[in-house]
């Protein structure tokens, strides 16, 4: 093992992912820790990052003092006022090196499009649409005060609210029964009672409960539930609008777009986005599969902190690293 290694951290809302590579981009270890890094969604955020880093170091057979740079992409890092709690996440005894902290969308874009202009639409635990234009302008949907309510929990909340409100038909019967089973209730009256009591008092636990239900919604859309189809179609529409808002800032007529996250990549929503973006508009959108996962986007930035140029060989090594991560 090299005496010098770099650390990349993808601190999402549900998982904390850590990767260590040598200075040529060869993967030495990868860890996916159950528990996020967003302090307002997970009270154990700092502990989750600490555990992910220490397990990654152990698996890489190195020491903290071998790490020459760390880049952490953190969900919820939206303003300078967040920097205090974000920095604290990597304030780990023995980890003393060059560091950079960014929003997790930044490392996702870096990995997906390898520093090239384009747009990423993230929809999973959270949701954000982020682009780097051909004039190097960095812009998010939030800059327009546009919020796409497409995070996993949003699909579930919308579905449950409409079920309680009676906005269903016979195509939704199987979907509704799966929702009853998911919440361990017997029927609509039980669900109404559960909802009227606020479901779960703790908002973090409540959001997690609803977030974990999203796959039931997206699967139901594929199975023909009108309710689920409407919910998922609306989510796809909101993501498309956000993509086009960002796209309006590009000078180029053709813009690469990558979808990231469990919701954006669910089959019904992904297909709907593809079909909608292919319709005639003032821009042409070229759908791309992400080249690297976000955690290796963080590795690219960590290497660049050490003035290392990401040449073809390093990129190929990172792509091989992606295959190892995918197969773990």
- My answer on whether 264 and 155 are in the same domain is yes
> What pLDDT, on a 0 to 100 scale, did the predictor assign at position 2?
65
> What pLDDT, on a 0 to 100 scale, did the predictor assign at position 42?
85
Q: What is the mean pLDDT of the chain?
A: 95
CATH code: domain of residue 282:
3.30.420.40
Q: Which domain holds residue 20?
A: 5-112+292-327
Encode pLDDT of 47-65 as tens digits: 999 999 999 999 999 999 9
SS3 279: coil
Residue 107 pLDDT level (bands cut at 50, 70, 90): very high
Both tokens assigned to 269 = 């929503």
Both tokens assigned to 86 = 């974000």
- My answer on whether 108 and 156 are in the same domain is no
- My answer on whether 172 and 192 are in the same domain is yes
> What pLDDT, on a 0 to 100 scale, did the predictor assign at position 170?
97
Encode pLDDT of 219-245 as tens digits: 999 999 999 999 999 999 999 999 999
Strands 127-132 and 118-123: antiparallel
Both tokens assigned to 217 = 């919604």
- My answer on whether 74 and 32 are in the same domain is yes
Contact indicator for 327, 136 with CB cutoff of 8 Å: no
> What pLDDT, on a 0 to 100 scale, did the predictor assign at position 282?
85
- My answer on whether 76 and 126 are in the same domain is no
> What pLDDT, on a 0 to 100 scale, did the predictor assign at position 172?
98
- My answer on whether 175 and 260 are in the same domain is yes
- My answer on whether 189 and 317 are in the same domain is no
User: Does the structure show a pLDDT above 70 at 1?
Assistant: no
SS3 88: helix
> What pLDDT, on a 0 to 100 scale, did the predictor assign at position 326?
85
Encode pLDDT of 115-133 as tens digits: 899 999 999 988 999 999 9
User: Does the structure show a pLDDT above 90 at 159?
Assistant: yes
C-alpha to C-alpha distances, 103 to 72, 182, 259, nearest whole angstrom = 8, 33, 17
Encode pLDDT of 5-18 as tens digits: 999 999 988 899 99
- My answer on whether 60 and 144 are in the same domain is no
Cα–Cα distance measured from residue 143 to residue 147, given in angstroms and rounded to the nearest whole number: 10
- My answer on whether 180 and 277 are in the same domain is yes
Q: Which residue spans within 12-93 are E strands per DSSP?
A: 15-22, 27-34, 67-74
- My answer on whether 321 and 268 are in the same domain is no
Residue 281 pLDDT level (bands cut at 50, 70, 90): confident
Contact indicator for 232, 268 with CB cutoff of 8 Å: yes
C-alpha to C-alpha distances, 139 to 8, 60, 144, nearest whole angstrom = 23, 36, 9
Contact indicator for 289, 88 with CB cutoff of 8 Å: no
User: Does the structure show a pLDDT above 80 at 197?
Assistant: yes
End-to-end CA distance of the chain: 21
Query: Which one is predicted more confidently, 76 or 67?
Result: 67
- My answer on whether 33 and 155 are in the same domain is no
C-alpha to C-alpha distances, 5 to 17, 89, 146, 299, nearest whole angstrom = 17, 20, 40, 10
Give the chain's domain count: 2
Encode pLDDT of 209-226 as tens digits: 999 999 999 999 999 999
Q: State CA 122 to chain mean position distance.
A: 5
The pTM score is 0.91
Cα–Cα distance measured from residue 262 to residue 14, given in angstroms and rounded to the nearest whole number: 12
In the predicted model, what is the mean pLDDT of residues 259-282? Answer: 95
Cα–Cα distance measured from residue 253 to residue 265, given in angstroms and rounded to the nearest whole number: 25
- My answer on whether 132 and 271 are in the same domain is yes
């Amino acid at each position: 093992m090299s005496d010098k290694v770099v650390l990349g951290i993808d601190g999402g809302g549900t998982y904390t992912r850590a990767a260590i590579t040598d200075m040529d981009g060869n993967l030495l270890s990868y860890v996916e820790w159950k528990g996020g890094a967003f302090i307002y969604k997970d009270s154990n955020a700092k502990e989750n990052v600490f555990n992910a880093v220490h397990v990654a170091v152990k698996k890489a057979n190195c020491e903290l003092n071998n790490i020459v740079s760390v880049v952490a992409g953190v969900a919820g890092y939206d303003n300078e006022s967040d920097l205090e709690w974000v920095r604290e996440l990597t304030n780990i005894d023995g980890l003393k090196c060059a560091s950079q902290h960014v929003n997790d969308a930044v490392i996702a874009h870096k990995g997906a499009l390898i520093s090239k202009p384009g747009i990423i639409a993230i929809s999973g635990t959270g949701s954000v649409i982020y682009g780097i234009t051909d004039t190097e302008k960095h812009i998010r949907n939030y800059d327009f005060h546009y919020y796409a309510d497409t995070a996993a929990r949003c699909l579930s909340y919308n579905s449950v609210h409409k079920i309680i409100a009676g906005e269903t038909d016979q195509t939704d019967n199987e979907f509704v029964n799966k929702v009853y089973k998911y919440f361990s209730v017997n029927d609509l009256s039980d669900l109404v009672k559960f909802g009227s009591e606020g479901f779960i008092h703790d908002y973090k636990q409540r959001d997690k409960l609803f977030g974990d239900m999203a796959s039931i919604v997206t699967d139901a859309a594929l199975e023909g539930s009108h309710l689920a189809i409407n919910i998922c179609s609306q989510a796809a529409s909101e993501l498309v609008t956000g993509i086009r808002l960002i796209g309006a800032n590009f000078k180029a007529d053709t813009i690469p777009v990558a979808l990231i996250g469990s919701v954006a990549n669910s089959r019904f929503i992904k297909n709907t986005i593809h079909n909608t973006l292919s319709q005639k508009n003032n821009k042409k959108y070229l759908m791309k599969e992400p080249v690297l996962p976000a955690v290796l986007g963080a590795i690219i930035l960590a290497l660049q902190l050490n003035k290392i140029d990401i040449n073809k060989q390093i990129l190929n090594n990172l792509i091989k690293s992606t295959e190892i991560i995918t197969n773990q």
